Amino acid sequence: MSERIEADWLDTAPARAVTDMLETAGHQAWFVGGCVRNALLGAPVSDLDLTTDARPERVMELARAAWLKPVPTGIDHGTITVVAHGTPIEVTTFRRDVETDGRRATVAYSDEIAEDAARRDFTMNALYADARGEVADPLGTGLSDLRTRHLRFIGEPHERIREDYLRILRFFRFFAWYGETEGGIDAEGLAACAELAEGIEGLSRERIGAEMLKLMAAPDPAPAVASMAMSGVLMRVLPGGASDPLSVLVHVEEEAGLDPDPIRRLALVGGEDVGPCLRLSRAQEAALQSLRDAMEAGWGPGELGYRLGAARALDVLALNAALSGREIDAVSRETALGGAEARLPVRAADLMPEHSGPALGEKLREIEARWIASGFALDRDALLS
């Protein structure tokens, strides 16, 4: 019995427009990768990718004829982004690898879906679905591996990794999101990642950072990060990083009702020069440093809320709780939330002209410290007296 996906996006105007464009002209049109995998898992689908036997120039020609907008976003690798009804859909010609250097591949076009499947990374990502939702499993193992949540490389793991060393990090990221953690990570794949971990050094920090942020956003990345540490991969990505406290933090987050936050989790895993190592944005690096500074400052819950705001204060409470092996207590939570609402009742103008320049700032800080120590209870008159 064949497998079929039921997904709303199959019947959307953009999806129908692009598949009709290809099939009417006699070409194959297969949705592939994440959209098929997630539809089978009942998980959200964000992007639609199609693959076809039509060559890129033919895809562009057909798109124009159908009054759609073709954009040659990756034409050197066979990818055309077709914009249909305002929605971009990547259309990539069947390919097979000719030569790889661990970062990028030289490809040749193919007419066979099986050749296209064989060059992909993991069996659960080599699943295809036509415009009617009928699923094709060219390798014969993708569906069974997806059902059992068994993440494994296609063919020989060492060969797949040597084609693109980023697949080492993708292995851990996909395990965190789609793997069956109780059964453990695939031993053959893990061994290959450990043996070839040195290849990560040749990857750009931007690519590494993007994978790590996606990994850390998983509901529970702890088993995957622990496997990274065991295989020696973590120390190449985040020198000095530690995986041990992460599982405790995930539990604390769940009990406190906190959504997964990659920056919060990176603050706990730690490491040397995390921002530059992962090429974090300025905003991300500032948020990470703010959490680390607050953890070292030893502020109480109320001061955390006052200085950082409610969300980041709860982050620090969660981090401190994880490090001490406990949960966030209700009193600390409410105190932090109360601190986030507090506003210092004294302004600089209240201290002038008696104080000015550096002395004004010093006096204002002294008043602020007394106010915080009082649990935000002292009013303006008491603080000025």
Q: What is the CATH number of the domain that holds 158?
A: 1.10.3090.10
pLDDT at 183: 82
Q: Which of 234, 218, 104 is nearest to 168 (CA)?
A: 234
* Block residue for tokens 């590494």: 208
For the stretch 73-98, pLDDT in tens is 888 889 999 999 999 999 999 998 76
What is the crossing angle of helices 310-323 and 301-308, to 10°? 140
pLDDT in tens, 311-343: 999 999 999 999 999 999 999 999 999 999 999
Backbone angles phi, psi at 135, to 5 degrees: -90, 135
Q: What is the pLDDT of residue 1?
A: 47
Which of 120, 148, 176 is a domain's end point?
Answer: 148
Same domain? For 249 and 228 the reply is: no
pLDDT of residue 98: 63
219 and 280 belong to one structural domain: no
Q: What is the mean pLDDT of residues 179-185?
A: 87
Same domain, 10 and 106: yes
> SS3 sequence, 188-228?
HHHHHHHHCHHHHHHCCHHHHHHHHHHHHCCCCCHHHHHHH
For 54, which DSSP code? Answer: S
Residue 52 sits in the same domain as residue 114:
yes
Split into its structural domains, the chain has a count of 4
- Among the candidates 190, 213, 237, a domain finishes at 237
| Strand residue runs (E) in 11-114 | 30-32, 49-52, 69-74, 79-84, 87-93, 95-100, 105-109
Q: Same domain, yes or no, for 141 and 174?
A: no
Answer yes or no: do 223 and 193 share one domain.
Answer: yes
54 and 81 share one domain:
yes
Residues 5 and 144 in one domain: yes
According to the model, what pLDDT value does residue 101 have? 53
pLDDT tens for 269-299 read: 988 899 999 999 999 999 999 999 999 999 9
Dig out the tokens for 40 from the structure. 């089978």
Higher pLDDT, 82 or 182: 82
Average pLDDT over residues 164-172: 97
- For 162, other C-beta atoms within 10 Å of its C-beta total 16
| Residue-level pLDDT at 19 | 98
**Domain membership of residue 158 as a residue range:** 150-237
Residue 146's alpha-carbon distances to 32, 89, 222, 234, 275, in angstroms, are 14, 24, 21, 26, 34
* Chosen domain end from 88, 123, 148: 148
Phi/psi at 150 (5° precision): -95, 105
- From the CA atom positions of the chain, what is the Rg in Å? 26
Confidence of residue 99 (pLDDT cuts 50, 70, 90): low
Let me know whether 226 and 265 are in one domain.
Answer: no
Q: Are 291 and 316 in contact (CB under 8 A)?
A: yes
Q: What pLDDT shows up at residue 194? A: 98
Beta bridge partners of 164: 102
Give 128-185 as a DSSP string.
EE-TT-BEE-TTS-HHHHHHTT---BSS-HHHHHHHBTHHHHHHHHHHHHHS-GGG-S
Are 285 and 225 members of one domain? Answer: no
Average pLDDT over residues 256-263: 97
